[in-house]
A and B are shown apart, each in its own frame.
Chain A
Amino acid sequence: MITLYLHEQKRGNRRPDGMKKASGRLQYLTDLNQEGQLYGAVKRAGMPHAVLKQVDIDEARALPGVHAVLTAADVPGWNGFGIADPNQPVFCTDHIRYEGDAVAAVAADSPETAQAALNLIRIDAEPLAPLDSPAEALKPGAVHLHPEGNVLHTTAFHHEDLDKAWEHCRWIVEETYETPRQMHGYMETEGGLFLPEEDGSLTVHAPTQHGYKDQMQLARILGWHEAQIRIVSSPIGGSFGGKDELNVQPYGALLALHTGRPVKIHQSRQESVRAGLKRHPMQIRMKTGLDQHGRIAAHEVDILSDTGAYATLGGPVLQFATEHAVGAYRMGAVRVNGRAVYTNNGVAGEFRGFGGNQVIFALEGQLDRLADKSGIPPWELRKRNLRRMYDPGPLEQEVAPNNGPRDVWEAVQRSLLWQKPKRSRSAEEPWLVRGIGVSLAMHGSGLGYGIPDPAGGELRLTKDGRIEAAFGHEEFGQGLLASLQEMMLDHFHCTKDDIRLTIGDTSLVPPSGSSTASRSTNMMWQALQRMVPGWKKQLFTAVQQASGVPASRMETGPGGIFRMEGGTQQELLLSYQEAAALADITEAVSFHFPVTPDPIIGGHYLYGSTAVITEVEIDQRTGAVQVLEAEHVVAAGGVVYPIGYLGQIEGGSVMALGFTLMEDTVMEGSVCRTPNLDTYLMPTIQDVPGYQPVQAVETLPPGDDYGPRGVGEIGSVALAPAIAEAVYQASGVRVERLPIDREVLVDETAWMTAAEGETIG
């Protein structure tokens, strides 16, 4: 059960895509088929590290039913992709860098024949020792995975004199934290349908979080103009960052153009696990000191990020982690150094939370350990160090005034869960111990300084009388359409039937930037703020000419434009369809996500804040941890769509629970040992808390007109440290590694001692 507490009761319309999704009737892009289609399949290296000598495709090509077998020689443009740095080859030429590296692709009459052809492709390669950890990859003499070496990106942030600051510290805690290689685990694995059109263009039906970026990347691979490629990219069966980067699109596009036939590709779960992106495993060393007043006087951080074989967004993720290693706290002196290191461990990339989840686990862990050491209660310690409304941001950059961290802190004080005893042991079953933990975090929205973060949209009145909002954003289950619908209804006071929402097709929508980084809701809100007045002015001027009623006395309403008097709606002047016949009413806008004026790479300007209280129960017979309740407080501006808001926080929370308790792509020698969902474990309904209340703090600082911040990520960033603290309260065991190892929590001595006193004697 989940409940959302709001300051006012809000209307919530049914989400436009809800019924079709719940009933299973929605056709996803990977459900599409076209008559005469061929089936595409990709030959993956199947070995983590090797010198590639030759790929022999002759036998595969000769197999009846096979229409094309392509390798690097068949890529007409740039043989590579990657949002930030296109250094992942479409097809390997000389160096195999991970198990999922592609060496060839096949198009055949049936999936079985395509698979048979893959089995006939022979890879002649000389195995190299896998670089299975950043430490291995950093060793002198390690094979270079890329021309620049094995370090993708470094970050360094310094503030004040850290070496001196230790002198003022009364309590110091130093710890190294490790986080898992979490998988997105979307229900729909990567795939799509690729159609060569009669005019020589190409239509791609494949999920992505940024259709225009795919268009650009595919054009670069094909050596085409972007306008020759149409990307249809929504609806999507889940992404969480995992489909932000290209996956099967290069192969589908090349095979379709080569054969002149429609090509369908859809990856199996095992191929998805081995080839797809994961969350960056990070090793984070933190040394943090408190002065005698309980203020953080010194904070030193080293982040070592396993970025896997290719760049994708490994650099920006590290940037984000660097900023959030300071987070919502004001500190005396700070030094943060980060390194993202290439290894042969798959490919790590964009994932909900974007590097925040890892460092927030570490940072909040430090606060809890310092609280223990100093005797200052953990929640009080946080208060003493939280930023104030007009303080600079974590990288000392100018940020929008922000009181979110203090707002969520206050809300926790009022929580009933937080007032429960911090630990207890069951009398009937002495092996069951309970504990309560709390954590706090701030999370940046948008991509940050120095990264292009464009936004835009279009409003049109269609000839059939609909107010159409067109955005280059994507719907991957996060409820974007529902939020957009709510905002449109607020602006136009019309009915759902009067509006049309158009997204996810480059032939129909303007560029709006990516649907990532908790930015889409905010960008649509801002775009509408900018477009609606001008659009209404155009509309009312046209209606004034037709009706004689002054434009200043008009407002949109159900079905059309109404005359207004004293703020109340009078008679209908014209229907939307009638108005559409008068003139072309279109308003477009493009702008940039609000960004800090200070030139600090990766620094954010807008943030959401959150606090999470959780109660866990540990079974000391097995070490199993059950999260009984997780209460989230979120300060991210106004709630646009209550059910969607709740869904994002609940979903993010469950994902974070998996990150904390069970999810990890286990690699041995850079070979994946958890290739399917029976070994890579995600939480089931029985693993998640029965009750997850969400409290929304909707107030923004005076004068803040940036609108609602997105909440796509914030539900996932702060649960792990709250669970870790609750586990400590319950058992006395401090956890530095995720997912939590049950072996460290088994404790027969504790429960048998407790039991003894009670029953024997």
Chain B
Amino acid sequence: MTMTKQQVWRPWTLQEVVSLTGQLDGRYCFTAGGTWLRTQWEAGTLEEPEHLIAVDRVPELQSGAAVQENYIEIGAFTTLTDVLEHPAVLAKLPVLVEACKQIAAPSIRHQATIGGNICTRTGDAVPALLVYDAVLLWYGSDGLEEESLEAWLMRETEEERLLTAVRIYDAPEEVDDVVFALKSGRRETFIPSQVTVAGRLRIDPQGNVLAAAIACGGGSAVPKRMPKTESLFCRSSTRKLFPALMHDEIKREYDPPSDVFASAEYKKRVAANLIVGEWYRKGRDHAVST
């Protein structure tokens, strides 16, 4: 028989998870919402594993967000819909809210989790989390570990640990002066991203940029922060925009691959346009108010 039977495991504790993964020796896959796994299986781009470990019964992996003294923690199992409805997220993390709104369609967001989106490495929530300097909480054979999202994205090793939560220490007391998360795909909605950008700017009343965090991603590109662009922003003022200069810097720094539907050059230009467009908006507001 060539038919494969798939076994689904639903462990109760993290210890059970660890012992299972040891037993199954790489022939398993963790699943949360399962939306992206199913898509890949159907497209034939990922083989269905013999064993599926559904970790929804493990108490440490519950969904929801919690506000602590110096951070906000979002459980890896929180669905995108729940992320979008959580008061703390809505109040403190507007870039993440904007990003999550643009992921897939409502029915998918009801099932898909923030942890799953992160684990794809190219999810649309990732640029938004990058500009908040998000930290990932992993559970592996060495117990719980913290690792910055940015550092994790740069490593290319196969991940065997279980993502339990994402923490944001840098949740701003007050809302930033410029926040954005923009996505461009081949149609208006329910569409894989070609270019996703996210950003936060802190600007003083005179228009001087005090702090900047910018990230780009989209398609198969692993999102990344844009330090050179950020540094250019930090030397800028809304009194004088220099949009072309900004545009060139972004195109120099962002280096996405081409694919069947869009060239690398197109993606660079779109990323630059989207970011500079937000900068223009702020400059215009400044001009109007002064």
Contact = CB atoms under 8 A, between A and B. Distances in A.
A759 B207 CA distance: 14
Contacts of B192: 678
Given A676-B43, A756-B243, 10 more contacts: A621-B277, A678-B192, A683-B187, A686-B188, A687-B189, A742-B262, A743-B263, A748-B269, A751-B273, A752-B276
Contact of B274 (A428, A621, A668, A742): A621
Which of A429, A622, A742 has the most C-beta atoms of chain B within 10 angstroms of its own C-beta? A622
A564 interface: no
A685 B284 CA distance: 32
Interface string A744-756: 0010100110011
B241 A760 contact: yes
A748 B273 contact: yes
B243 A752 contact: yes
Contact of A759 (B261, B277, B287): B287
B151 interface: no
Interface in B190-243: 190-192, 195, 240-241, 243
B280 A759 contact: yes
Contacts of B42: 270, 676
Which of A431, A621, A760 has the most C-beta atoms of chain B within 10 angstroms of its own C-beta? A621
A119 B4 CA distance: 12
Contacts of A588: none
Nearest to A661: B187
13 contacts: A116-B2, A119-B2, A429-B281, A621-B270, A622-B184, A662-B187, A742-B186, A746-B266, A746-B269, A748-B247, A748-B269, A752-B276, A755-B284
A748 B280 CA distance: 12
Interface in B156-186: 184, 186
Contacts of A742: 186, 262, 266
A622 B274 contact: yes
Given A431-B277, A621-B273, A673 B241 contact: no
Interface string A673-713: 10110100101101100000000000000000000000000
A666 interface: yes
Contacts of B247: 748, 752
Interface string B268-290: 01101110110011011001000
Which of B39, B247, B270, B283 has the most C-beta atoms of chain A within 10 angstroms of its own C-beta? B270
Interface of A: 63, 112-113, 115-116, 119-120, 270, 428-431, 620-624, 626, 661-662, 666, 668, 673, 675-676, 678, 681, 683-684, 686-687, 742-743, 746, 748, 751-752, 755-756, 758-760
A429 B182 CA distance: 15
B37 to A, nearest CB: 14
A662 B273 CA distance: 22
A405 to B, nearest CB: 33
A115 B4 CA distance: 11
Contacts of A756: 243
A626 B273 contact: no
Contact of B262 (A428, A666, A686, A743): A743
Nearest to B244: A752
A684 B260 CA distance: 21
Interface residues of B, number: 38
B279 to A, nearest CB: 10
Contacts of A681: 186-187, 191
B187 A687 contact: yes
Contacts of B241: 759-760
A428 B285 CA distance: 10
A682 to B, nearest CB: 8
Contacts of A675: 43
Contacts of B266: 623, 742-743, 746
Given A431-B273, A743-B262, A760 B240 contact: yes
Contacts of B2: 116, 119-120
Contacts of A666: 260-261
A557 B102 CA distance: 57
Contacts of B260: 666, 668, 673
A63 B1 CA distance: 7
Nearest to B272: A748
A723 to B, nearest CB: 15
A626 B260 CA distance: 22
A547 B190 CA distance: 67
Contacts of B274: 621-622
Interface string B240-259: 11011001000000000000
Contacts of A622: 184, 195, 270, 273-274
A684 B187 CA distance: 8
A681 B263 CA distance: 18
Contacts of B280: 430, 752, 755, 759
B273 A116 contact: no
Nearest to A64: B1
Contacts of A429: 277, 281
Nearest to A674: B260
A759 B284 contact: yes
A726 B195 CA distance: 26
Contacts of A668: 260
Closest 3 CB pairs of A and B: A621-B273, A686-B188, A622-B184
Contacts of A751: 273
Contact of B1 (A116, A430, A661): A116
Nearest to B242: A760
Given A622-B273, A675-B43, A759-B283, A687 B188 contact: yes
Which of A119, A429, A752 has the most C-beta atoms of chain B within 10 angstroms of its own C-beta? A752
A760 B186 CA distance: 33
A673 B43 CA distance: 11
Interface string B1-12: 111000000000
Contacts of B284: 428, 755, 758-759
A624 B273 contact: no
A692 B91 CA distance: 39
B186 A678 contact: no
A626 B188 contact: yes
B3 A113 contact: yes
A624 B243 contact: no
A624 B191 CA distance: 13
